[in-house]
Amino acid sequence: MTSSRDFDNTRAVWYHFSAFYIILKGAVGNLTGTRQRKEMQTSIKKNWLLDKAGMLFWQKGYHATSMKDLANVCNCKPANFYNYFKNKEDILYEVIKNITEQGVSSIRHLDDDEETSPVEQLRSLIKSHFGYLASMKQSSILLSDTGIKYLSREHRKEIIELRDLYDSILRKIIRRGIEDGEFAPTDEQVVSNLIASVVVRSSIWFSNKGRLSVDEVGEIMFNFVYSGIGGE
């Protein structure tokens, strides 16, 4: 038979265990929160450096820009960059990778969509990608297009793979449209290259201060493309 003393001892042990668990849980939570805040701060700082670097690369040229130049424009020491990047080429790679990855992300949802009509998918792709690019600085867009030639073979391969993923999604939409009779028979590769060029180049001259919104220009762009490839 359990005595009242045994019960009191058990209750005391359970109380201390519960208190220890609450304290430990709080400590782990604080540690996780601190780590997450630190990671967020690092990400924000890194993206800020990339934004400044991308602008300078475009203004001065990649080869003409030194680590000292980058440090001056960011108001820090050259050594600070090495907390985030291996070297200057790694900075350029990160600039191009970021904009390319986000461009692909803006249309990735279309890849496995077999229910939406190809026409509406094409409209979504053009307007989604254009909308994303219109929010970027023109220097970043141009640098992502021309700066790939300065990357190492390994980094260049990664960027090309991302671009190939974008192209495959676009070509899949065009192929479905041709098969369904919504697009006229055409060369998928050539047309996909033309569409991508229209989107990218239009984002360079577009201004958010202009008389037409991003959505309106995107719709005009879609109608222009569709008038050229639409079926009978």
* All domains of the chain in start order, with CATH: 4-81 (1.10.10.60), 88-229 (1.10.357.10)
Confirm if 47 and 102 have CB atoms less than 8 A apart: no
How many Cβ atoms are within 10 Å of 32's Cβ, its own excluded?
A: 10
pTM: 0.75
| Token output for 128 | 């989604």
**Which residues on adjacent β-strands are paired with residue 230?**
183
Question: In sequence order, which ranges of 78-137 are alpha helices (DSSP H)?
Answer: 78-81, 88-105, 118-134
The type of residue at 184 is: A
Q: Which two tokens stand for residue 24?
A: 């430990």
Cβ atoms of residues 163 and 192 within 8 Å? no
pLDDT at 231: 66
Task: Compute and round to an integer the Cα radius of gyration of the chain.
Answer: 26
pLDDT of residue 136: 85
The SS3 call for residue 183 is strand
pLDDT attached to residue 75: 86
Predicted confidence at residue 113, as pLDDT, reads 87
183 bridge partner residues? 230
Residue 140 pLDDT: 82
The answer to whether residues 173 and 125 touch, using CB atoms and an 8 Å cutoff, is: yes
What is the full per-residue pLDDT of the chain (232 aa) written as tens digits?
Answer: 555 555 455 555 556 656 666 666 666 666 555 555 555 556 667 888 888 888 899 889 999 999 999 989 888 888 888 888 999 999 999 999 998 999 899 899 999 888 999 999 999 999 999 999 998 888 888 888 889 999 999 999 999 999 999 999 999 999 999 999 999 999 999 999 999 999 999 988 999 899 999 999 999 999 999 999 986 6
Quick one: angle between helices 4-60 and 88-105, nearest 10?
Answer: 110
Tokens of residue 199, six digits = 């989107």
